[in-house]
Amino acid sequence: MAKKKDSEKHEDGQRGGKYNKDDADANELENFVDDITDEELLGDVLQKRPKVSDGVDTVIIVDGVPQVNPERFDKLKVVITKIFAQFGKILNDYYPKSENGHTKGYIFIEYEKHESALEAVTQANNYKLDKQHTFLINLFSDYKKYNDIPEKWEAPTLQPFPERPNLQYFLSEPDAFDQYYVYNVNSHIEVWLNSNPQPTKLVEREKWTESLIMWSPLGTYLATLHKQGVVLWGGPNFTNVLKLSHRNVQFVDFSPCEQYLVAYAPLDNDEQKLTIFDIRTGAEKRSFISDAPMAGNVLRWSKDDKYFARIGHNTLSVYETPSFGLLDKKSITVNGIRDFSWSPRDNVLAYWVAEDKDVPARVVLLEIPSRKEIRANNLFNVADCKIHWQKAGDYLCVKVDRYAKIKREKGDVKYSGMYFNFEIFHMREKNIPVDSVEIKEPIHAFAWEPIGSKFAIIHGEPSNNSVSFYNVKSGQAPVLLKKLDKHFCSHLFWSPAGQYIVIAEIRDSGALEFVDTADFTTMCSTEHYKATDIEWDPTGRFVATGVSSWKTKGDTGYWIWSFQGRILNRFNTNTYCHMQWRPRPPTLLSAKQQKDTKKSLKKYTSQFETKDKMRMTKASKEVIDKRRKLIKEFEEYRSKRLEDWNKQKAERMAIRSHIDTDELDSDDKNVQVEKVEFLVKEEVTVID
Amino acid sequence: MKPLMLQGHERAITQIKYNREGDLLFSSAKDVTPNVWYSLNGERLGTYNGHTGAVWCIDVDWKTTKFLSGAADNTLRLWDVATGVEIGNISSNSAVRTCSFSYSADLASYSTDQAMKQDCEIFIVDARNDESFKSSAPILRMTVPDSKVTSLIWGTLDHTIITGHEDGAITQWDLRTGKSIESVKDHQGSINDMQKNRQGTMFVTASKDKTSKLFDVDDLSVHKVYVTERPVNSASLSPKYDHVVLGGGQDAMDVTTTAAQAGKFDARFFHVIFEEEFARVKGHFGPINSLAFHPDGESFSTGGEDGFIRVQSFDPTYKEFRFDY
pLDDT at A288: 83
Among chain B residues, CA nearest to A556: B229
- Chain A environment of B215 (Cβ under 8 Å): none
In DSSP notation, B280-311 reads EE---SS-EEEEEE-TTSSEEEEEETTS-EEE
In a domain, B161, yes or no: no
Q: What is the mean pLDDT of residues B161-183?
A: 90
Mean pLDDT of chain A: 84
Q: Is A611 helix (H, G, I), strand (E, B) or coil?
A: helix
Q: Mark yes or no for CB contact B274/A630 under 8 Å.
A: yes
Q: What digits encode the pLDDT tens for the residues A252-281?
A: 899 999 999 998 888 877 788 888 999 988
Picking from B251, B254, B238, the residue whose alpha carbon sits closest to that of residue B291 is: B238
Q: Are residues B113 and B25 in the same domain?
A: yes
Residue A3 has pLDDT above 70, yes or no: no
In a domain, B56, yes or no: yes
Among chain B residues, CA nearest to A657: B104
| Residues, chain B | 325
In a domain, B156, yes or no: no
- Chain B environment of A658 (Cβ under 8 Å): none
In a domain, B106, yes or no: yes
- Chain B environment of A634 (Cβ under 8 Å): 223-224, 272-273
Among chain A residues, CA nearest to B102: A655
In a domain, B175, yes or no: no
Residue A31 pLDDT grade (very low, low, confident, very high; cuts 50, 70, 90):
low
Q: Which of residues 635-654 of A touch B (CB under 8 A)?
A: 637-638, 641-642, 644-645, 648, 651-652
Which residues make Cβ contacts (< 8 Å) with residue B265, sequence separation at least 6? Answer: B249, B250, B282, B283, B284, B285, B286, B287, B288, B304
Residue A664 at interface with chain B, using a CB cutoff of 8 Å: yes
Mean pLDDT of chain B: 88
Say if residue B191 is exposed, middle or buried (CB neighbours under 10 Å; 0-12, 13-18, 19+).
buried
Q: What is the Cα–Cα distance from B62 to B127, expressed in whole angstroms?
A: 13
Nearest CB partner across the interface for A631, out of B156, B218, B273: B273
Report ipTM (2 d.p.).
0.84
Q: Are residues B20 and B126 in the same domain?
A: yes
Q: Which of B101, B122, B145 is at the close of a domain?
A: B145
In a domain, B185, yes or no: no
Residue B259 pLDDT grade (very low, low, confident, very high; cuts 50, 70, 90):
low
Nearest CB partner across the interface for B325, out of A627, A637, A652: A627
In a domain, B165, yes or no: no
If one compares A390 and A4, the residue with the highest pLDDT of the two is A390
Q: What is the Cα–Cα distance from B31 to A611, expressed in whole angstroms?
A: 61
Cis, bond preceding A156 (omega within 30 deg of 0): no
Residue B25 pLDDT grade (very low, low, confident, very high; cuts 50, 70, 90):
very high
Longest dimension (CA), chain B: 57
- Chain B environment of A662 (Cβ under 8 Å): 199
Longest dimension (CA), chain A: 156
Q: Mark yes or no for CB contact A642/B199 under 8 Å.
A: yes
Q: What digits encode the pLDDT tens for the residues A513-533?
A: 999 998 888 898 888 888 889
Buried b (16+ CB within 10 A) or exposed e, B41-70: ebeeebebebbebbbbbbbbbbbbebbbbb
Under DSSP, the state recorded for A140 is H
Q: What is the Cα–Cα distance from A615 to A609, expressed in whole angstroms?
A: 10
Nearest CB partner across the interface for B324, out of A509, A624, A661: A624
Residue A630 at interface with chain B, using a CB cutoff of 8 Å: yes
pLDDT at A511: 86
Among chain B residues, CA nearest to A678: B41
Q: Are residues B138 and B216 in the same domain?
A: no
Domain range enclosing B262: 199-324
Say if residue A433 is exposed, middle or buried (CB neighbours under 10 Å; 0-12, 13-18, 19+).
middle
Q: How close, in Å, is residue B230 to chain A by CA atoms?
A: 9
Could you tell me if B299 and B281 are in contact, meaning their C-beta atoms sit under 8 angstroms apart? no
Residue A24 pLDDT grade (very low, low, confident, very high; cuts 50, 70, 90):
very low
Nearest CB partner across the interface for A652, out of B23, B157, B296: B157
Q: Which of residues 491-550 of A touch B (CB under 8 A)?
A: 509, 527, 529-530
pLDDT at B211: 92
pTM for the model: 0.71
Residue A2 pLDDT grade (very low, low, confident, very high; cuts 50, 70, 90):
very low
Q: What digits encode the pLDDT tens for the residues B278-296?
A: 888 888 888 999 999 999 8
What's the helix, strand, coil split of chain A in %, to 5?
A: 20, 35, 40
Give alpha helix (H) positions in A88-224. Answer: 114-124, 140-147
If one compares B16 and A119, the residue with the highest pLDDT of the two is B16
- Chain A environment of B295 (Cβ under 8 Å): 664
Residue A27 has pLDDT above 70, yes or no: no
Residue A119 has pLDDT above 90, yes or no: no
Under DSSP, the state recorded for A87 is T
Could you tell me if A395 and A424 are in contact, meaning their C-beta atoms sit under 8 angstroms apart? yes
Percent of chain A with pLDDT strictly greater than 70: 91
Most confident among A74-78, B198-202, B211-215 (mean pLDDT): B211-215
- Chain B environment of A644 (Cβ under 8 Å): 201, 218
Picking from A469, A516, A460, the residue whose alpha carbon sits closest to that of residue A489 is: A460
Q: Are residues B13 and B138 in the same domain?
A: yes
Q: What is the mean pLDDT of residues A667-684?
A: 72
Residue A535 pLDDT grade (very low, low, confident, very high; cuts 50, 70, 90):
very high
Q: How close, in Å, is residue A445 to chain B by CA atoms?
A: 26
- Chain B environment of A554 (Cβ under 8 Å): 229
Q: Would the CA dihedral through A59, A65, A67, A73 be positive or negative?
A: negative
pLDDT at A75: 87
Nearest CB partner across the interface for B295, out of A572, A656, A664: A664
**Domains in chain B: how many in total?**
2
Contact residues, chain B to chain A, C-beta under 8 Å: 20-23, 38, 40-41, 62, 103-104, 106, 156-158, 199-202, 216, 218, 223-224, 229, 259, 261-262, 272-274, 295-296, 323-325
Picking from B299, B305, B319, the residue whose alpha carbon sits closest to that of residue B42 is: B299
Could you tell me if B204 and B269 are in contact, meaning their C-beta atoms sit under 8 angstroms apart? no
Q: Which of B130, B145, B160 is at the close of a domain?
A: B145
Helix or strand (DSSP H, E) at B26: strand B24-29
Q: What is the Cα–Cα distance from A234 to A644, expressed in whole angstroms?
A: 59
In a domain, B77, yes or no: yes
If one compares A226 and A32, the residue with the highest pLDDT of the two is A226
Picking from A190, A178, A180, A179, the residue whose alpha carbon sits closest to that of residue A575 is: A190
Residue type present at position A74? D
Q: What is the mean pLDDT of residues A372-393?
A: 88
Q: Specify the CATH number for the domain of residue B224.
A: 2.130.10.10
Q: Are residues B138 and B205 in the same domain?
A: no
Residue B253 pLDDT grade (very low, low, confident, very high; cuts 50, 70, 90):
low
For residue B66, what are the CA distances in angstroms to A17, A487, A587, B103?
112, 58, 78, 13
Residue A113 has pLDDT above 60, yes or no: yes
- Chain A environment of B103 (Cβ under 8 Å): 652, 655-656
Mutate to test the interface with A, among B230, B273, B296 (most CBs of A within 10 A): B273
Q: What is the Cα–Cα distance from B282 to B284, expressed in whole angstroms?
A: 6
Q: Are residues B96 and B215 in the same domain?
A: no
Size of interface A-B (CB pairs under 8 A): 67
**Taking chain B, what is the end-to-end CA distance rounded to the nearest angstrom?**
28
Residue A627 has pLDDT above 70, yes or no: yes
Residue A10 has pLDDT above 70, yes or no: no
Residue A11 has pLDDT above 70, yes or no: no
Residue A436 pLDDT grade (very low, low, confident, very high; cuts 50, 70, 90):
confident
Q: How close, in Å, is residue B103 to chain A by CA atoms?
A: 8
Q: Which of B145, B171, B186 is at the close of a domain?
A: B145
Say if residue A305 is exposed, middle or buried (CB neighbours under 10 Å; 0-12, 13-18, 19+).
middle
Q: What digits encode the pLDDT tens for the residues B202-244?
A: 999 999 988 999 999 988 999 999 998 888 999 999 998 999 9
Which residues make Cβ contacts (< 8 Å) with residue A61, sequence separation at least 6? Answer: A106, A107, A108, A137, A138, A139, A140, A143
Q: Are residues B140 and B18 in the same domain?
A: yes
Q: Are residues B119 and B226 in the same domain?
A: no
Could you tell me if A11 and A31 are in contact, meaning their C-beta atoms sit under 8 angstroms apart? no
Residue A435 has pLDDT above 70, yes or no: yes
Say if residue A480 is exposed, middle or buried (CB neighbours under 10 Å; 0-12, 13-18, 19+).
exposed
Q: Are residues B15 and B136 in the same domain?
A: yes
Q: Mark yes or no for CB contact A648/B20 under 8 Å.
A: no
Residue A404 pLDDT grade (very low, low, confident, very high; cuts 50, 70, 90):
confident
Q: Mark yes or no for CB contact B201/A644 under 8 Å.
A: yes
Residue A371 pLDDT grade (very low, low, confident, very high; cuts 50, 70, 90):
confident
Q: What is the Cα–Cα distance from B265 to A613, expressed in whole angstroms?
A: 36
